[in-house]
Amino acid sequence: MTDWPQIKSRRTIDISPWMKVIERAVEFTPGATPELYHAVGQQDYIAIVARTPDGTIPIVRQYRPAVERFTWELPAGLVDPGEAAAETCRRELMEETGFPALAVHDLGSFAPCTARLSNQVHSFFVECGPRAGDATVEAGIEVKLVTPAELAGLIRSGAFTLQLHIGALMLAGMRGHLDLAAFSTVR
């Protein structure tokens, strides 16, 4: 293992309660002039691939200002300070879909973007119980139950575009929770 590159300095700039900009001066070789790199600092977040008792997958539609449009996504959310990612998973699934988590399976934690983001995304597969009759979902969120083939159609059409969530679906398939072949039946 080498001692280079080295972080020569680090500065954090608070932008909002949800985001920081982290500036790092990186020296790549001994004596080289440090180069500045910037990353977005956020709390870790979670992505949930869930299956309801009837075998459908709940997805959510909400307005995303970053892309200036509505998008279909998996249920997801930020991990609160001091909260375990699996607990965030249970809480967010209920808040966004009204489905309780019966069994939560960890799919792994990964870097969402090694070039620009400094956090981790924790992905889970959840076996849901029946939706509570009095369940309500967060304001601004629409819930839809889809089959894997219908979800594949949404991905192909560009209505479901969040790459991190497409990756979570792949992880669920790799771990044997979803049949990825069902995603290839719609062209």
| CA gap 169, 165 in Å, rounded | 6
Cα–Cα distances in Å, from 38 out to 10, 23, 33? 10, 5, 16
Tell me the per-residue pLDDT of 96-130, one tens digit each, with 9 for 90 and over.
999 999 999 999 999 999 999 999 999 999 999 99
| CA gap 105, 122 in Å, rounded | 11
Predicted local confidence at residue 134, as pLDDT: 83
Confidence tier at 185 by pLDDT (50, 70, 90): low
Percent of the chain topping pLDDT 90: 84
| CA gap 71, 60 in Å, rounded | 8
Mean of the per-residue pLDDT values of the chain: 93
pTM above threshold 0.85: yes
Q: Of 46, 43, 51, which Cα lies nearest the Cα of 19?
A: 43
- 125 CB burial (10 A radius; 0-12, 13-18, 19+): buried
| CA gap 116, 123 in Å, rounded | 19
Give the residue-averaged pLDDT of 123-145. Answer: 92
Confidence tier at 49 by pLDDT (50, 70, 90): very high
User: 58 preceded by cis ω (within 30°)?
Assistant: no
The answer to whether the beta carbons of residues 121 and 114 sit under 8 Å apart is no
Q: Which residues contact 4 (CB under 8 A, 6 or more apart)?
A: 27, 28, 29, 30
Predicted local confidence at residue 186, as pLDDT: 47
- 28 CB burial (10 A radius; 0-12, 13-18, 19+): exposed
Predicted local confidence at residue 36, as pLDDT: 96
β-pairing, 121-128 vs 101-110, is antiparallel
Give the residue-averaged pLDDT of 27-55. Answer: 95
pLDDT of 87 above 90: yes
Give the residue-averaged pLDDT of 9-35. Answer: 94
Give the residue-averaged pLDDT of 85-99. Answer: 96
pLDDT of 187 above 60: no
Tell me the per-residue pLDDT of 150-177, one tens digit each, with 9 for 90 and over.
999 999 999 999 999 999 999 999 999 9
The answer to whether the beta carbons of residues 92 and 77 sit under 8 Å apart is yes
β-pairing, 121-128 vs 45-51, is parallel
Question: Could you tell me the domains of the chain?
Answer: 6-41 (no CATH), 45-184 (3.90.79.10)
Q: Of 67, 92, 78, which Cα lies nearest the Cα of 158?
A: 67
| CA gap 170, 173 in Å, rounded | 5
